[in-house]
Amino acid sequence: MNSREREEFKEVILSEIASQKHQIESLLKSTKPIAPDNAIGRLTRMEAIGSKGVSEASLGSAQRKLARLETALNKTEDPEFGVCIRCSSQIPKGRMLLIPESVTCVACA
């Protein structure tokens, strides 16, 4: 992988990090405790609690992805960046652009 490609991946990763941080901010607002007498519009309290649970799961997923993206950003200068951790083959560029935190090739995933 040449330096131009590494810079391209850095830009993609930084863009994804910004997107995940924005998503996390939004999800944090929707995971606040539900007041006992809270009925949001036509939603019942139980529906609001269920929605909060979904938001909490999404928040956890977004936080894990952010951590993986930050790890990938720190490894962009490593010679092993873009190399599958299982079979040591080059991870296809398309996969790296779509899922920049990828550590395995398509076959090993």
> pLDDT per residue over 4-50, tens digit each?
888 999 999 999 999 999 999 999 988 877 666 655 665 677 777 78
> pLDDT per residue over 89-108, tens digit each?
999 999 998 998 999 999 99
Is the model's pTM score more than 0.85? no
How many structural domains comprise the chain? 1
Instruction: Please tell me the predicted confidence (pLDDT) of residue 11.
Output: 93
Q: How far apart are CA 65 and CA 85, in angstroms?
A: 18
Q: Residue 27 in contact with residue 51, Cβ under 8 Å?
A: no
91 lies in a domain?
no
Q: Residue 83 in contact with residue 90, Cβ under 8 Å?
A: yes
Distances from the Cα of 65 to the Cα of 24, 27, 72, angstroms: 11, 14, 10
16 lies in a domain?
yes
Range of the domain at 37: 3-77
103 lies in a domain?
no
Instruction: Please tell me the predicted confidence (pLDDT) of residue 29.
Output: 85
Indicate whether 54 pLDDT > 70. yes
47 lies in a domain?
yes
87 lies in a domain?
no
36 lies in a domain?
yes
